[in-house]
């Protein structure tokens, strides 16, 4: 499937270039979730866990004029930041009611929230090098330093109680905010 997607994207890029439309077109390519293939956690599929292979998604902004030569950023963000990012690239001021921040804004927090709800209810936050997950059904928490442990094999929550408390509060505030936001959308 990945090979087929790559081939189709190559065809799309080529068609835009051949028609002289590449410099006037912004392609935004992303996914809705990652995918686990059994390594390193033995999980296959998505939605069951919140490891990096489950929550990492591609985000490609393609326009040869705006991004000549291309570049790769290690910015931490979420889908909530996508609209603001595209608006900035297009030179459009986003409405104040939008959530999220442009991923090109150096002042934005290096933070993204996530959840998984098939099986267990997992809520978490990635902030800088730290990734914190709270398993709501059992009350367990998982903390990892992605710089030292990119495969998320070691839970260091027990040795970082203050950091866990801080990140647990962030997650709780995010869940509360989103609950209120969603309720207000139905009023």
What separation in angstroms does the CA of 139 have from each of 103, 133, 135, 159, 171?
A: 32, 10, 5, 17, 13
pLDDT at 97: 85
d(CA 66, CA 59): 16
* pTM (predicted TM-score): 0.83
Residue 76, pLDDT > 60, answer yes
Tell me if residue 90 falls in helix, strand or coil. Answer: helix
- pLDDT value at 48 more than 60: yes
Structural domains of the chain, with CATH: 110-187 (3.30.1120.10)
Q: Which residue has the higher pLDDT, 93 or 119?
A: 93
Secondary structure of 140-151 in HEC code, one letter for each residue? EEEEEECCCCCC
pLDDT band at 4 (very low <50, low <70, confident <90, very high): very high
Cβ atoms < 10 Å from Cβ of 55 = 22
- In the predicted model, what is the mean pLDDT of residues 122-131? 94
């Amino acid at each position: 499937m990945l090979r087929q997607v790559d081939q189709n994207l190559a065809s799309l890029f080529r068609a835009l270039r051949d028609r002289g439309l590449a410099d006037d077109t912004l392609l935004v390519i992303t996914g809705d979730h990652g995918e686990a293939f059994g390594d390193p956690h033995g999980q296959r599929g998505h939605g069951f866990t919140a490891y990096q292979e489950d929550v990492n998604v591609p985000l490609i902004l393609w326009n040869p004029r705006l991004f000549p030569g291309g570049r790769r950023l290690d910015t931490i963000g979420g889908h909530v930041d996508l609209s603001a990012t595209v608006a900035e690239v297009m030179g459009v001021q986003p409405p104040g009611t939008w959530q999220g921040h442009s991923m090109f804004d150096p002042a934005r927090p290096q933070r993204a929230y996530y959840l998984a709800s098939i099986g267990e209810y997992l809520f978490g936050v990635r902030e800088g090098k730290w990734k914190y997950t709270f398993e709501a059904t059992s009350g367990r928490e998982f903390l990892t330093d992605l710089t030292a442990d990119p495969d998320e094999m070691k839970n260091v929550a027990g040795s970082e109680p203050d950091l866990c408390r801080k990140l647990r509060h962030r997650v709780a505030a995010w869940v509360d905010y989103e609950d209120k936001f969603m309720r207000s959308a139905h009023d």
